Structure formats: C-alpha cells, structure tokens
Amino acid sequence: MIPSVLTSLHAASALTAGGEIYDAVVLIEDGRIVRIGRPDEFDLPGRTQRHSFPDATILPAYLDVHIHGSAGHDVMDASPSGQQNMASFLGRHGVSAFLATTVTASVDRTLAALDRIASWIEQPANLLSAKPLGIHLEGPFISHARRGVHPPEMIQPPSIALFDRFYEAARGHVRLMTLAPEIPGALELLHHAISRGVRISLGHSDALAAQARAGITAGASSATHTGNAMRAFDHREPGLLGVVLDEQTLFAEIICDGHHLSPETIRLFAAAKSASRRILITDAISAAGKGDGQFLLGDLEVTVADGRAMLDGKLAGSVLTMDRAVEHFLFATGLHVSHAALAASRNPAAMLGLDADTGSLAAGARADINILAPNGRLLATFLAGQRLD
C-alpha cells in the first residue's frame, strides 16, 4: 500500500474561510487540506514534508476572471502546447484557476475560439498549473462609444440567437459575459444568459445611472474593469461608474497595474466598495511575461513599451500578473494582506458561485495555496499541495 503524502505549512497566520488564524499550520494530505490549526493541535508523522514561513501569511491561490493571454499566447488561438505554457506561467504567479477571456472578433472567429477553449477546459487537469474554469465573453455585445480597442466593425447588437450560438460552441462553458446594459435588447439578453447559468458583468458601457441600475435590477453580478471603458463620473449624472461604486450588492473588477487607474482612484474604489465585493483582475494579453514588442490580442496587433500595452493610443489590456496586482493594490491602499486575499481569490469565486470549491482555505478543499509576505509579495505557491519551482 502506497503511504499518503503529507505536507505541513507553518506561517505567522492563515486566512481561512472562517477567519484569520495566527501561528497557523495547514496540513495537506494527497493534495487536499485536511486540517488547519495551531502547532500544539497537531501530532505530525515523521514522514511529513514540513515548510515554514516565518512572518508570512497562508492564503488561497488566486482566481483571475479576466485574462486574455500570457507567456506569448492568446486564449483565442493558442495551440495545446501554448495553452499549457500559459497555464504553467499563471501557476508560477500564484494563479490556480482563471476564465479564458475572449475579445470581440468575427462571429466565425469567435465560434472557433470558443470550441478550442472548451476542449482546453475539458482536458484532465494538470495539477502543477492553473486550470481554465470557464470562459468570459468580453464582447461583442458592448457599446461603440466605450469599445476601447475592440474593433467597431465586429461589435454586435444584443442577440439571444447569437449568444446561444456562442454558448453551444463553448459547450456550456461560458461562465461570465460583459454586457453594456443601455443598448436596446441588452436586458432581454441579460435575463436569457442568466437563465443558462452565465453571470453578467456590466462594462464597455456608456450607461447612465438609471440604465446601470436597470442592469443590476435585472440580475447583473459584477462590473468589468471599473473606471475603464465607462462613462466618466459627473456629480449630477454619475453613470455606470458612480453606480458601481455606490451599489454594495455588485462585485467590481479593477486593474492594478499602475497604468489603468491612479493610486487615488484605487483608494477611492477600496473605500467605496466593501471588502467582500472587490475583485482584482489582470486583463493580461499574450505579452504578459514577454517584455516589450509587438503582440496579439485576438486579431489585434498591440505594441508593448515600458509596461504599457497600446493600440491606436488606447490601453489594450495589460502585461500584469496577479501577484503584482496584489502588491500594487496593497501598496496603493495600505490595507492588510487579507483584503488582497479576498479580492484575488474568494470574491471572484463567490461572484461565479464557485466558492464552495475555489478561493478559500478549508478542510476538504484542494490545497491550492499562496504564501505572502506582509507587503503582498508572493513567496511560494502550492498547487494540489505541491510546491511550484
């Protein structure tokens, strides 16, 4: 009989589903968490692989619900080897799971990409890399006025029939869709998508406040990269941005890369949104991890220089990694590391309805774990209980 593989992690604290535990030990057996407690509560067998991280915090590995690519690969056209390279890259930056995010393209191109991504999702999991949990459709049902770099000729009016074609091509793996609520037909599509189990994120939108609230009343769960590709805030007409900051039932994404939002805006966001509703994303493109040069975002050729991804004078995604997003967020806000743990792991899982299995430290859960220094710097990642190099 092959003996169980036992691993223990000891750190200054652990951020569990039930709260923070100080002087904490997490015991892992065969890739799953079996117990969390204090050292005097454990009698560890001699064969236990022990890891100690003084002054550090144990927390769940990250979940990125908005990422287009990394390591030189775009989710819409990556080969199986490219998909694996991307997943391995994400794992090394603390991500255990993600939503492969599309960009507006032709219908045929999108259908082919969704089929390819669905096959990726359905592959047996590689325990030592991040896993795609589903698909985020960013476009084509967005506002021309707030399209960002999405190609205008490919934007589509809200269509239940077209959405269903996308959903079937993805074999039911669409979990999130960005939608502009002010466009005629958007609320009908919103209701239909929700009926098929898809969460809706309001974004790439020129919505007035009343139109934004109509989207939330209809069932929208989140907001896409808050502050970017939205109507600018006005004190008499706050628009979607004002509603996102005010509405405490709504989750909201932000990109903390030093380019998309100023430190003041990040602090305002953190002050306005409750700790349980903030979501950190990367919005990363294929250039993440590759330095300066020319890279693809779908069919779009993006120029990266000095850490900024640009197309026609506009930001075109980012080269951010989630571990750096956490560091930027904590540096800008001065908040405790627990706030970043929520925003990068538990909150996105809760928004998707996956928090029973993802994004928290609890007995029985898969041991996907990050170890962070007090400033948020990633010290180590364990996926299924195995430490990544």
Task: For residue 143, give the DSSP letter.
Answer: -
Report DSSP letters for 331-370, one per residue.
HHH---HHHHHIIIIIHHHHHHT-TTTSSS--TTSB--EE
Distances (CA, A) of 111 to 133, 134, 173, 315, 382: 18, 15, 13, 26, 35
**Annotated catalytic residue within 283, 323, 355, 368:** 283
Q: How long a stretch of residues is the chain?
A: 389
Would you call 323 a catalytic residue per the annotation? no
Distances (CA, A) of 100 to 41, 103, 176, 264: 41, 10, 10, 30
Q: Cα(364)–Cα(31) distance, rounded to whole angstroms?
A: 10
**Helix or strand (DSSP H, E) at 86:** helix 80-92
Q: Residue 61 is encoded by which pair of tokens?
A: 């590995």
Residues classed as catalytic: 283
